[in-house]
Amino acid sequence: MNSPECIEQKGIIENITGTRAIVRINVLSACAACHAKGACGTSESSSRLVEAEITKGSFSPGQPVYVVMNKTMGIRAAALAYFAPFAIVITTLLILASCNLSELVSGAVSLLILIPYFTGLYLFRNKLKRSFSFTLRKD
Protein backbone atom coordinates (compact mmCIF):
# COMPACT_ATOMS: atom_id res chain seq x y z
CA MET A 1 0.00 0.00 0.00
CA ASN A 2 2.20 2.78 -1.25
CA SER A 3 0.38 6.01 -0.44
CA PRO A 4 1.39 9.42 -1.80
CA GLU A 5 2.16 10.57 1.77
CA CYS A 6 4.76 7.85 2.35
CA ILE A 7 8.17 6.85 1.09
CA GLU A 8 8.93 3.13 0.99
CA GLN A 9 12.24 1.34 0.59
CA LYS A 10 12.68 -2.41 0.33
CA GLY A 11 15.01 -4.10 2.81
CA ILE A 12 15.74 -7.27 4.74
CA ILE A 13 15.40 -7.61 8.51
CA GLU A 14 18.79 -8.21 10.12
CA ASN A 15 17.83 -8.34 13.79
CA ILE A 16 14.79 -7.87 16.04
CA THR A 17 14.89 -6.61 19.62
CA GLY A 18 11.52 -6.15 21.27
CA THR A 19 9.45 -3.86 19.08
CA ARG A 20 12.46 -2.55 17.12
CA ALA A 21 13.94 -4.14 14.00
CA ILE A 22 17.24 -3.44 12.29
CA VAL A 23 16.68 -3.50 8.53
CA ARG A 24 19.41 -3.57 5.87
CA ILE A 25 18.53 -1.39 2.88
CA ASN A 26 20.57 -1.54 -0.31
CA VAL A 27 21.12 1.98 -1.60
CA LEU A 28 21.89 2.23 -5.29
CA SER A 29 23.36 5.21 -7.06
CA ALA A 30 21.53 6.49 -10.12
CA CYS A 31 23.93 4.72 -12.44
CA ALA A 32 23.58 1.39 -10.62
CA ALA A 33 20.14 1.01 -12.19
CA CYS A 34 21.39 2.02 -15.65
CA HIS A 35 21.30 -0.61 -18.38
CA ALA A 36 24.86 0.28 -19.43
CA LYS A 37 26.43 -0.09 -15.98
CA GLY A 38 28.42 -3.14 -17.04
CA ALA A 39 30.16 -1.19 -19.77
CA CYS A 40 31.16 1.93 -17.86
CA GLY A 41 32.04 0.47 -14.47
CA THR A 42 30.97 3.51 -12.44
CA SER A 43 28.00 1.91 -10.70
CA GLU A 44 27.95 2.12 -6.94
CA SER A 45 25.84 0.49 -4.30
CA SER A 46 26.02 0.39 -0.54
CA SER A 47 23.83 -0.83 2.25
CA ARG A 48 22.52 1.05 5.25
CA LEU A 49 21.07 -0.15 8.50
CA VAL A 50 17.83 1.47 9.61
CA GLU A 51 16.06 0.99 12.92
CA ALA A 52 12.31 0.63 12.41
CA GLU A 53 9.42 0.16 14.79
CA ILE A 54 7.25 -2.93 14.59
CA THR A 55 3.72 -1.66 15.12
CA LYS A 56 1.67 -4.62 13.94
CA GLY A 57 2.22 -8.10 12.62
CA SER A 58 5.01 -10.57 13.21
CA PHE A 59 8.38 -10.34 11.56
CA SER A 60 11.48 -12.49 11.61
CA PRO A 61 15.15 -11.97 10.72
CA GLY A 62 15.87 -12.51 7.03
CA GLN A 63 12.35 -11.52 6.01
CA PRO A 64 12.00 -9.01 3.14
CA VAL A 65 10.03 -5.94 4.21
CA TYR A 66 9.34 -2.36 3.23
CA VAL A 67 10.57 0.42 5.51
CA VAL A 68 7.95 3.17 5.46
CA MET A 69 8.51 6.84 6.30
CA ASN A 70 6.18 9.81 6.07
CA LYS A 71 7.20 12.23 3.29
CA THR A 72 7.16 15.19 5.66
CA MET A 73 9.91 13.52 7.70
CA GLY A 74 12.01 13.22 4.54
CA ILE A 75 11.53 16.88 3.77
CA ARG A 76 12.44 17.80 7.36
CA ALA A 77 15.59 15.66 7.17
CA ALA A 78 16.61 17.31 3.89
CA ALA A 79 15.98 20.73 5.40
CA LEU A 80 18.19 19.98 8.41
CA ALA A 81 20.97 18.36 6.39
CA TYR A 82 21.07 20.52 3.25
CA PHE A 83 18.84 23.59 3.12
CA ALA A 84 19.56 25.05 6.57
CA PRO A 85 23.37 24.74 6.27
CA PHE A 86 23.23 26.28 2.78
CA ALA A 87 21.13 29.19 4.08
CA ILE A 88 23.50 29.67 7.04
CA VAL A 89 26.58 29.75 4.79
CA ILE A 90 25.05 32.16 2.26
CA THR A 91 23.62 34.46 4.94
CA THR A 92 26.93 34.57 6.81
CA LEU A 93 28.83 35.17 3.60
CA LEU A 94 26.56 38.06 2.58
CA ILE A 95 26.72 39.67 6.02
CA LEU A 96 30.50 39.42 6.25
CA ALA A 97 30.98 40.60 2.66
CA SER A 98 28.85 43.66 3.41
CA CYS A 99 31.18 44.42 6.33
CA ASN A 100 34.03 44.86 3.82
CA LEU A 101 36.01 41.89 5.08
CA SER A 102 38.30 40.12 2.66
CA GLU A 103 36.84 37.32 0.57
CA LEU A 104 39.14 34.80 2.21
CA VAL A 105 38.02 35.71 5.74
CA SER A 106 34.36 35.90 4.72
CA GLY A 107 34.50 32.50 3.01
CA ALA A 108 36.41 30.83 5.83
CA VAL A 109 34.10 32.13 8.57
CA SER A 110 31.05 31.20 6.47
CA LEU A 111 32.26 27.61 6.31
CA LEU A 112 33.47 27.49 9.91
CA ILE A 113 30.05 28.63 11.13
CA LEU A 114 28.81 25.16 10.15
CA ILE A 115 30.87 23.55 12.92
CA PRO A 116 28.51 24.73 15.71
CA TYR A 117 25.49 23.89 13.55
CA PHE A 118 26.49 20.28 12.93
CA THR A 119 27.76 19.96 16.52
CA GLY A 120 24.29 21.01 17.68
CA LEU A 121 22.68 18.42 15.41
CA TYR A 122 25.02 15.80 16.84
CA LEU A 123 24.26 16.79 20.44
CA PHE A 124 20.50 16.63 19.80
CA ARG A 125 20.69 13.41 17.75
CA ASN A 126 18.70 11.38 20.28
CA LYS A 127 15.88 13.92 20.31
CA LEU A 128 15.94 14.08 16.51
CA LYS A 129 15.99 10.28 16.31
CA ARG A 130 12.67 10.17 18.19
CA SER A 131 11.06 12.60 15.74
CA PHE A 132 12.14 10.52 12.72
CA SER A 133 10.42 7.16 12.94
CA PHE A 134 10.21 4.32 10.45
CA THR A 135 7.65 1.53 10.38
CA LEU A 136 7.64 -1.84 8.67
CA ARG A 137 5.29 -3.30 6.09
CA LYS A 138 5.41 -6.87 4.85
CA ASP A 139 6.66 -7.46 1.32
Lowest-confidence pick of 6-20, 25-39, 69-83, 94-108: 25-39
pLDDT at 39: 53
pTM greater than the 0.85 cutoff: no
Amino acid in the structure at residue 99? C
pLDDT at 33 over 70: no
